[in-house]
């Protein structure tokens, strides 16, 4: 539904997006995950036709973003990072204006407005001026305007930023409820948003693609790319004391005590499990448990953000 190929965007000297390629299938919710300034907003602006790309190709709903911008604009609903609202308009008045410029025929406009008021639960505030409603409502008006022409694709730039936890939950539920009917791409810099809402993600950092795929695939590919191997041990003796002993094994790069566990790391090209076990037994540490220390998604993401995980 969304296809990006070798997309590059330069602002003068600065390269915001480099050779980005990814695909989003129809009916899926896909996250565009990356730290601030990773190029998420730029990518979305290119997809929506707000900005031209320097190089590369992008297509949405089968239309080329650069060749058929109007067709693409009709197929996309877009919530920019800064929610585009006219403070002096009422909620319903604003949605009416958006319905007009999205070229919904006059006869269908009222039904379209009622539909999005209902699905974004805005009925209570529809007559109020936008400047007088809360941040959470404004965000929902933003999502409502994106959905008003029932687009095939929804592009939401940081839809939950600046909201309180209850509002974040509401917005996430709203987005989840749209799965299936719409293909959704949302950007975020927080991982839980992806794991809770999305089917998959494209992870970018400094404008480069780090990984993409469904949630399951992502963890697997990133783990495979992690250059560190290691184990987590539980021993009867004091963990802090054991750390000192494990450090003496040649090849162990780091040993840290985490609560009552010891985490050991070494380069992936070797396997020190034998040595570790032998030491634990020889020193009578009272080995209770030893398991491979696979990083979870959160840790993997942190590694990407800090630049510790290559492509």
Classified as helix, coil or strand, 90 is strand
Q: Which two tokens stand for residue 235?
A: 């021993």
Q: How far is the CB of 294 from another protein (least distance, A)?
A: 42
Q: What angle do CA 1, 162, 174 make, to 5 degrees?
A: 45
User: Judged by CB under 8 A, does residue 132 bind another protein?
Assistant: no
Among residues 84 and 136, whose Cβ is nearest to another protein? 84
CA dihedral 23, 30, 179, 223 (to 10 degrees): 110
* Contact residue for another protein among 57, 93, 225, 283 (CB under 8 A): 93
Among residues 93 and 136, whose Cβ is nearest to another protein? 93
Cβ-based neighbour number of residue 8 at 10 Å: 16
* Contact residue for another protein among 27, 35, 84, 136 (CB under 8 A): 84
* Contact residue for another protein among 18, 40, 102, 303 (CB under 8 A): 102
Q: How far is the CB of 301 from another protein (least distance, A)?
A: 28
User: Judged by CB under 8 A, does residue 4 bind another protein?
Assistant: no
* Contact residue for another protein among 16, 24, 29, 76 (CB under 8 A): 76
Among residues 49 and 207, whose Cβ is nearest to another protein? 49
Q: How far is the CB of 145 from another protein (least distance, A)?
A: 7
Interface with another protein in residues 147-186 (CB under 8 A): none
* Contact residue for another protein among 101, 166, 224, 259 (CB under 8 A): 101
User: Judged by CB under 8 A, does residue 51 bind another protein?
Assistant: yes
Give me the sheet containing 261-267, strands edge to edge.
Answer: 252-258, 261-267, 228-235, 287-292
User: Judged by CB under 8 A, does residue 85 bind another protein?
Assistant: yes
Among residues 3 and 81, whose Cβ is nearest to another protein? 81
Residue 210 near residue 300 (C-beta atoms within 8 A): no
Q: Quick one: 175 exposed, middle or buried, by C-beta within 10 A (0-12, 13-18, 19+)?
A: buried
Q: How many residues bind another protein (CB under 8 A)?
A: 29
> What is the Cα–Cα distance from 149 to 155, expressed in whole angstroms?
13
Give the helix, strand, coil percentages of the chain, each rounded to 5: 40, 30, 30
* Contact residue for another protein among 6, 25, 67, 100 (CB under 8 A): 100
User: Judged by CB under 8 A, does residue 293 bind another protein?
Assistant: no
Interface with another protein in residues 250-269 (CB under 8 A): none
> What is the Cα–Cα distance from 31 to 172, expressed in whole angstroms?
12
User: Judged by CB under 8 A, does residue 62 bind another protein?
Assistant: no
* Contact residue for another protein among 16, 92, 98, 191 (CB under 8 A): 98
- Bridge partners of residue 234, in order along the sequence: 261, 289
Residue 196 to residues 3, 181, 199, 263, Cα–Cα distance (Å): 24, 19, 9, 28
Classified as helix, coil or strand, 15 is strand
Residue with tokens 């602002």: 11
User: Judged by CB under 8 A, does residue 15 bind another protein?
Assistant: no
Q: Which residues bind another protein (CB under 8 A)?
A: 11, 45, 48-52, 70, 73-74, 76, 78, 80, 82-89, 93, 97-98, 100-103, 145
């Amino acid at each position: 539904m969304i296809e990006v190929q070798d997309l590059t965007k330069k602002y003068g000297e600065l390269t915001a997006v480099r050779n980005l390629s990814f695909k989003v299938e129809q009916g899926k919710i896909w996250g565009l995950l990356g730290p601030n300034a990773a190029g998420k907003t730029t990518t979305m602006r290119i997809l929506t036709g707000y900005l031209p790309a320097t190089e590369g190709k992008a297509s949405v709903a089968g239309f080329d973003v650069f060749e058929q911008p109007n067709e693409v604009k009709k197929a996309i609903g877009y919530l920019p990072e800064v929610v585009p609202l006219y403070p002096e308009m009422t909620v319903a008045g604003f949605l009416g204006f958006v319905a007009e410029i999205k070229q919904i025929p006059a006869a269908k406009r009222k039904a379209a407005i009622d539909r999005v008021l209902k699905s974004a639960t805005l009925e209570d505030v529809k007559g109020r001026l936008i400047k007088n409603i809360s941040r959470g409502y404004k965000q929902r008006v933003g999502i409502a305007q994106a959905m008003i022409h029932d687009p095939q694709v929804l592009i939401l730039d940081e839809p939950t930023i600046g909201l309180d936890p209850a509002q974040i939950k509401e917005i996430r539920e709203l987005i989840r409820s749209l799965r299936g009917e719409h293909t959704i791409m949302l950007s975020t810099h927080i991982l839980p948003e992806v794991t809770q809402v999305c089917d998959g993600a494209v992870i970018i950092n400094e404008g480069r693609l780090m990984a993409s795929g469904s949630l399951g695939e992502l963890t697997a590919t990133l783990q495979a790319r992690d250059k560190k191997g290691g184990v987590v041990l539980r021993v009867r003796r004091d963990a802090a004391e054991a750390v000192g002993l494990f450090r003496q094994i040649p090849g162990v790069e780091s040993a840290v005590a985490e609560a009552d566990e010891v985490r050991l790391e070494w380069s992936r090209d070797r396997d020190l499990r034998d040595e570790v076990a032998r030491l634990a037994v020889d020193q009578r540490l009272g080995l209770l448990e030893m398991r491979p220390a696979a990083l979870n998604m959160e840790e993997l993401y942190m590694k990407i953000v800090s630049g510790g995980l290559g492509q």
